[in-house]
């Protein structure tokens, strides 16, 4: 049972809804909203208190694309936490390819860098007790009916993973919609590697599926955003079946993943092959690279090249 939970990117979208759903569980005594903006975090906290009738929310300010910011945030956390949901991220927007001081581009730094530092620091200080959930996406195994190709790395060496993180893997053709799947793959493999290193902590990877009602489409390039908001989400996906769901449904996957013992450490759970909604299944049954422990450890090593 998780009595205390920290959620990154908890001021809006899936993160805020996760804070709401988890706060309503009877065992939950403390929910930490890890956000980069104090004003947005205060608004979200007030909304959550109103919606749940609970006064169990705390704010910790930190930017997950910035190592120092995350380290400072960890210093503010005095009591150990049972579970954390590494949710902040997405496609980031126009600055996705920009190199941050860590050497990772902003897309990778936001989805991975600060999350790895957060977990490393909490573990070092004995402040993380039971479970870690890394938020991934069906962009990793791909979605054939939509023409979305699976991640296909040639060697999955440390160098190749590092090239994904600094963007050189993509040469001059950095397409954020493609790079996103590769970045989530690196983060996923890191979490699976951690599951073997820390057998007493549940390290699980979950995709929320294609979820309506978040700000995610806002960071897409304009033509794609227009198509998604006006055509794909309201018309095409519902017609196809098993391709989209409400935010409550997407977030229930996080709540189940982190709380329910049926979901096991060291597994990436997401939709069935070719789907973006419905039951969650182990992705390694059809995307077999996930099972390769050398690849998993290579992802971990590549990430740590950027952490000083």
Ligand X SMILES: NC(=O)c1ccc[n+]([C@@H]2O[C@H](COP(=O)([O-])OP(=O)(O)OC[C@H]3O[C@@H](n4cnc5c(N)ncnc54)[C@H](OP(=O)(O)O)[C@@H]3O)[C@@H](O)[C@H]2O)c1
Which chain residues interact with ligand X by CB under 6 A?
Answer: 8-9, 11-15, 36-37, 40, 63-65, 87-90, 110, 135, 137, 207-208, 210-211, 214-216
Smallest separation, CB 139 to ligand X (Å): 7
Measured from the CB atom, the residue of 135 and 299 that comes closer to ligand X is 135
Among 296, 204, 220, smallest CA distance to 256 is for: 204
Smallest separation, CB 63 to ligand X (Å): 4
Rounded to the nearest 10 degrees, the angle between the axes of helix 13-23 and helix 247-259 is 60
Measured from the CB atom, the residue of 65 and 298 that comes closer to ligand X is 65
Contacts of 217 (CB under 8 A, 6+ apart): 225, 228, 229, 233
Measured from the CB atom, the residue of 70 and 162 that comes closer to ligand X is 70
Smallest separation, CB 203 to ligand X (Å): 16
Among 69, 132, 61, 75, smallest CA distance to 102 is for: 69
186 to 18, 79, 162, 191: CA distances (angstroms): 23, 30, 9, 9
Smallest separation, CB 144 to ligand X (Å): 17
Measured from the CB atom, the residue of 246 and 293 that comes closer to ligand X is 246
The residue count for the chain: 308
Question: What is the Cα–Cα distance from 271 to 168, expressed in whole angstroms?
Answer: 30
124 to 37, 60, 70, 84, 193: CA distances (angstroms): 26, 19, 14, 15, 17
Cβ-proximal residue to ligand X, closest one = 13
Smallest separation, CB 208 to ligand X (Å): 5
Measured from the CB atom, the residue of 195 and 220 that comes closer to ligand X is 220
């Amino acid at each position: 049972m998780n009595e205390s939970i920290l959620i990154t990117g908890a001021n809006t979208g899936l993160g805020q809804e996760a804070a709401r759903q988890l706060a309503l569980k009877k065992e939950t005594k403390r929910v930490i909203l890890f956000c980069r903006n104090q004003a947005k975090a205060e608004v979200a906290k007030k909304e959550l208190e109103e919606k749940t009738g609970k006064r169990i929310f705390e704010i910790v300010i930190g930017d997950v694309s910035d190592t120092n910011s995350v380290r400072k945030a960890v210093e503010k956390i005095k009591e150990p936490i049972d579970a954390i949901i590494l949710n902040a991220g997405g496609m980031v927007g126009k600055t996705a390819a920009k190199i941050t001081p860590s050497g990772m581009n902003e897309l990778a730094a936001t989805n991975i860098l600060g999350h790895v530092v957060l977990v490393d620091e909490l573990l070092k200080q004995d402040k993380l007790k039971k479970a870690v959930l890394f938020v991934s996406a069906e962009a990793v195994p791909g979605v054939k009916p939509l023409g979305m190709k699976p991640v296909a790395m040639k060697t999955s060496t440390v160098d190749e993973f590092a090239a994904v993180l600094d963007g050189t893997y993509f040469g001059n053709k950095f397409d954020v919609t493609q790079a996103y799947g590769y970045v989530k793959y690196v983060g996923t493999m890191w979490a699976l590697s951690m599951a073997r290193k820390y057998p007493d902590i549940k390290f699980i990877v979950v995709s929320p599926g294609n979820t309506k009602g978040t700000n995610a489409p806002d960071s897409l390039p304009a033509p794609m955003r227009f198509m998604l908001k006006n055509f794909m989400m309201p018309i095409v996906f519902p017609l196809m079946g098993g391709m989209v769901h409400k935010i409550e449904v997407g977030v229930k996957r996080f709540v189940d993943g982190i709380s329910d013992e049926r979901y096991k450490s060291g597994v990436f759970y997401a939709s069935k092959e070719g789907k973006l909604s419905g039951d969650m299944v182990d992705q390694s049954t059809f995307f077999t690279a996930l099972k390769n422990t050398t690849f998993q450890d290579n992802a971990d090593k590549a990430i740590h090249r950027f952490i000083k």
